[in-house]
């Protein structure tokens, strides 16, 4: 016999039905529910080297920016103080992803990061060549802290990130200098 809430039988009434509590989807041990990939194993590569990179992040980021200035002196002219501070912060963020790549021994975290941040740099009007220059500066700065076999995952990760930056440079036309006359025509001046 189905008893609804509004129908009472004698003194007893049916309590209202409470909905089941909503639970968040827990993916457990997989990194992405649709891909089914396991999370990166941060002990598979060189976790001690990654810890050293993370501990010296500020010093390495500053040194990487200095190396980038040495490779391309026009960086100082093209960016104001705020832009240079953002590049310094970005170098620290890249070092975080490099540390994950070195700890796991897999260049994929840095490659995926480089692929995802390209639109952000486009909005900030940062050419991909400057990011390539910054990545090379990070390679030179981090090489002073790492030794022997620890350099292999660093180089592999930076090579894949630079490959992504070059691919995005090709799309946006960063590979060539912009013609001021054509830029004025496109703006309608």
Structural domain includes residue 147: yes
Q: What is the mean pLDDT of each run of 10 residues along the chain (189 residues)?
A: 54 62 55 65 84 90 91 87 89 90 89 88 84 91 87 91 86 62 68
Structural domain includes residue 75: yes
pLDDT number for residue 158: 92
Structural domain includes residue 183: yes
Structural domain includes residue 104: yes
Structural domain includes residue 146: yes
pLDDT number for residue 137: 92
As a whole number of Å, the end-to-end CA separation of the chain is: 81
pLDDT number for residue 106: 87
What are the two backbone dihedrals, phi and then psi, of residue 43, each rounded to the nearest 5 degrees?
Answer: -115, 0
Q: Which structural domain, as residue segments, surrounds residue 160? A: 47-187
pLDDT number for residue 63: 92
pLDDT number for residue 77: 86
Structural domain includes residue 173: yes
The structural domain count of the chain equals: 1
Contact 53, 99 (CB under 8 A): yes
Q: What is the CATH number of the domain that holds 175?
A: 1.10.490.20
Structural domain includes residue 154: yes
Structural domain includes residue 24: no
């Amino acid at each position: 016999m189905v008893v609804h809430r509004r129908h009472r039988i004698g003194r007893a009434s049916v309590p209202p039905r409470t909905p089941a509590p909503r639970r968040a989807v827990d993916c457990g041990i997989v990194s992405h529910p649709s891909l089914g990939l396991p999370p990166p194993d941060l002990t598979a590569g060189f976790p001690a080297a990654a810890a050293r990179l993370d501990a010296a992040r500020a010093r390495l980021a500053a040194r990487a920016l200095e190396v980038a200035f040495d490779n391309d002196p026009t960086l100082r002219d093209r960016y104001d103080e705020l832009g240079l501070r953002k590049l310094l912060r970005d170098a620290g963020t890249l070092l975080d992803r490099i540390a994950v790549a070195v700890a796991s021994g897999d260049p994929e975290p840095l490659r995926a990061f480089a692929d995802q941040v390209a639109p952000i740099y486009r909005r900030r009007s940062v050419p991909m060549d400057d990011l390539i220059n910054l990545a090379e500066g990070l390679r030179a700065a981090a090489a002073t802290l790492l030794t022997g076999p620890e350099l292999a995952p660093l180089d592999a990760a930076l090579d894949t990130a630079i490959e992504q930056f070059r691919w995005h440079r090709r799309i946006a036309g960063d590979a060539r200098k912009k013609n001021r006359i054509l830029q004025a025509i496109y703006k309608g001046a």
